[in-house]
Structure 1
């Protein structure tokens, strides 16, 4: 057992390196209390992501209730399987074998992706695709090199490309990567696209922990109770020990 523990600690650096490229992450600045943002994010997820990625640990009805979406609208616009009921889990119809053959690996479930990867990683990742003809789907990703996923939001963003700046370092001109730029063929401009991605990441953060805001609210009450109980305990202790001293 001791050897196993030592081996796991020895492997931690290599596992961290395998987690993805080390690039600066942009702040998502999510707001889980913004119901309108969560509703827009749910719409984007269902229309652009749900074809391959499920959130099989969520239920349609729970999402509708939490995000103040009427059940009728949920059934009409966000449940694409005509046989599915609103109380069912949010699974899609793509077979695992087909996804593995098409993309090289099964499309992962995204229920907990915000907790696994982090919201800043997701926000940066979805804005870091760029055209790469050498890849099977014609795109690559700065945050996740050699990604096997197509750029499903390309019709919104347009065709993105890497942008370089030439700098003089020790008398030598060096091209340095400075960001991603769209060709303008998308339906949205840069600010609008970033807002759509932020809403999508906001929804994925909600999916990962629907009770987060309630947990934080209850946590404040618990901390307040502990403070009050601590004060009462001190007063009681003084009362008991007053005659002893």
Structure 2
């Protein structure tokens, strides 16, 4: 057991480095209680992400209910944007439909070099801080097929779909010398080459809203679980006193 514990402690930094792509992650600071943020994030998702990335474990009406939107609001404000998706029967999705799209896997692999992943649980697998950092660290790279690279996910095949909001930026490098005398370049900052429609602060908030929405999609019942968990703990505390009193009663004649 001691050897296993020591091994896990040794591996923790490696796992952390793999999850963060070898860079220090920025703090997303999401708030699932902020429904306005979730609504803005949902709108950003269907406008900029839904064309390629489906959310096949989420239904439109479930999302609307959790985000404080009626079915009519979901259909009018969210579904029309993503409504290029058709069922195999050629029917337009209803409010109870899953949030799928029509991106063909084989064609996507040819276009982007890999199949486009479903993002239903990406916030659970990657973490909100990684997503936030990823969406903020795209930079111009003419050597890449899409013209951009990413500091958190080097050589990523995805284009920077939010570039119109953020703008385009180029990396700023510093050269350092290692202990072996080898010179290495380190990306330390960015410099804008094209301004976006948002200021840096506005873009930060937009990315935070988008990540907040993806965190919600990854576990829609998370807040309910927290609330139920508090009541379960209180129940167990009360049960402990009753169980202790019963134990004392059973062992009264012995002690």
TM-score interval, normalised by the smaller of the two chains: 0.7 to 0.9
| Equivalent residue for 1:134, pick from 143, 150, 155 | 143
Residue 235 of structure 1: how far off its partner (Å): 1.4
Partner of 2:131: 122
Q: Unpaired runs of 5+ in structure 1?
A: 1-8
Residue 78 of structure 1: how far off its partner (Å): 1.2
Q: Measure, in 1, the Cα distance between the counterparts of 2:224 and 2:129.
A: 22
Partner of 1:87: 96
- TM-score, length-scaled by structure 1: 0.87
CA contact (8 A) 2:132 2:207 kept: yes
CA contact (8 A) 2:19 2:126 kept: no
Cα RMSD between the aligned structures?
2.7
Partner of 1:75: 75
Which of 233-242 and 210-219 deviates more?
233-242
| Equivalent residue for 2:248, pick from 238, 241, 245 | 238
| Equivalent residue for 2:108, pick from 95, 99, 109 | 99
Partner of 2:26: 26
| Equivalent residue for 2:223, pick from 196, 210, 213 | 213
Residue 106 of structure 1: how far off its partner (Å): 1.3
Q: Measure, in 1, the Cα distance between the counterparts of 2:18 and 2:111.
A: 23
Partner of 1:46: 46
Q: Measure, in 2, the Cα distance between the counterparts of 1:174 and 1:108.
A: 33
Q: Measure, in 1, the Cα distance between the counterparts of 2:167 and 2:232.
A: 49
What SS does the corresponding residue of 1:178 show, helix, strand or coil?
A: strand
Q: Measure, in 1, the Cα distance between the counterparts of 2:115 and 2:167.
A: 26
- TM-score, length-scaled by structure 2: 0.84
Q: Measure, in 2, the Cα distance between the counterparts of 1:154 and 1:199.
A: 16
CA contact (8 A) 1:157 1:182 kept: no
Partner of 1:5: none
Q: Does 2:239 correspond to 1:229?
A: yes
Q: Measure, in 2, the Cα distance between the counterparts of 1:96 and 1:37.
A: 31
What SS does the corresponding residue of 2:170 show, helix, strand or coil?
A: strand
Residue 21 of structure 1: how far off its partner (Å): 2.5
What SS does the corresponding residue of 1:243 show, helix, strand or coil?
A: coil
Q: Unpaired runs of 5+ in structure 2?
A: 1-7, 85-91
Q: Measure, in 1, the Cα distance between the counterparts of 2:225 and 2:125.
A: 19
CA contact (8 A) 1:160 1:183 kept: yes
CA contact (8 A) 2:19 2:130 kept: no
